[in-house]
Structure 1
């Protein structure tokens, strides 16, 4: 058996084993590419309000959220300082349930409350990463992700033409060909055009499947494991007083005076500083986030952890997510990721049809050749009979 036949068998059986998981993961991933754009459209009451004359202080909005469910402990608030028509989203824990409260920043009213884990896109993400089966599902998707990388590489080897004069046949779908030929072309030609993109998406996906891969990013670029960052301890212990979080918000906006989304983390204890993060919408790439830590009570600035000062490993790790989702350079790369995911979702289907129908790209040529041999043999037999 030749090397190419071995690779063909490997490609076939690995594809059959992982096909269903690949189909589920790629289809769910295609929808998740535009999660940030689609969710506000599907749940406008959760994100949009009619702008008012003046926004209420964050401390007042926090109290309103706490009154809505006294059994809940708030952990953070997310906001868009530049968008006057956006709600403030408070997140709180009640046992194992994470609540998401949309608060009107002008009236203080809780306009909507939702179980964070039961939102459509959260369920879809759970399906994408865990197949709705927790750690078992994570193990399955991780293995299938590795298999998919092998399939992409072996697929290119099988696609590669033996002679360059056949190259044009390998980059165009013969729509007027037989069903088998069209199916083979959809699989081989379609896979060829997106193979680099789907390889990168699958490769970066290993970050969430395996700790060794995530740690390897820091070892490769920093030469040492990832440094775990924690909010510093307060130097002075005193009550925050009225308007504390509003002051923190105003100070953070002055320190980070660019357009972007902001998150204020409410400390789990009185001894821990308040963490404020802001993602820049003005950076060349997405997921550029700065951290600032403020002392509880006094509001003194304790520490800055700016993106520009991060290690190379941390910057690469921050880029992994937008590369994986296609968000890295905005709409152009998102559309590219969407197209690649849809083509990748078609590969298990066309691959299964190829196996069931025996469709091979070289098969039509082989049939013609065999037909000529048979006709030539019959002609020789008839000539012998005439003699």
Structure 2
């Protein structure tokens, strides 16, 4: 019997995993600069958390969740996104009581959605996200957007654009909701079954439908900005003012609604504009979710956040032809010619590694020529050859692979010598 990776998942092999590590490192460095602290939540939660937090009218809840019953009869779900879990932790651990608000959190890890596999989209995917909970200041909206724009620019992406919209407050949403119902109701039979069920529950989600996107009523649907209250319009104006001050370019799209029920006020997406990237251009999405903390059992605390897919970030880099500066150099390869030399090689390698010098040796008893070829394939900067003579003299020739130069160095001075020459 042969086994293969489950459909919708992937193995990230050596050679590729280093790219992931570099991206993750850059993201964590930016989170430190912006003061977003990491939170790690379980990979599964109570199913009701996502039903209430994400919204039971969303495709995620209705079609895409991996839900199972444990031995205690509890319904659990592999997390399909990170916000609900972060907010649950915020409420459970009473982080709203901390003196410094907003609480700024970041997370990175696997999420799970049962959907058709496409380029850069998997059933298990890695998501990075942030949440800023406890502030209704439009300046924090701009900061969250600035962070994700910094992430993309730091890794080298250039062909991206930021798209903004405002979903307004409850009064705005209620007025727009009624207008949408009246607009779609006479012809709702022409729409897909999902849209028909959304008409009364959440008609805004009709605008996000992928099946009926070309229906004429979509283009003529009531535009949400026309229903913004004075307060909502003023809030959105301030968000744009801060983005202007930060030099962040954006486009306004009144049809940008996002796919989750908890959004209100500021919503945004970042899209790839690279040629040949594909039909689905969204790299990142986010927005404000005032009311979600209260829905999950906490106090009435506002929040905003975003999430991005690492897989799609890598796909965008590939589309733009950006090569990541991945450094995976081997400092020293030790060639041992007999069993006694192998023991000394193991001892020396241990002392090298203890001082931060990467080192390796042969473990399958190859001849000297084959070991030298292995050192070359691995990109070793230096090679030491240990044999009977070297053991007797307690010294080894250090060969610099780039130039072919050799220097005899006593065993006891190898660490200092390699540390010094490695810095040159």
TM-score when normalising by structure 1: 0.27
- Between Structure 1 and Structure 2, the one with more strand by share is 2
TM-score when normalising by structure 2: 0.25
Higher relative contact order (CA 8 A, sep 6+): 1
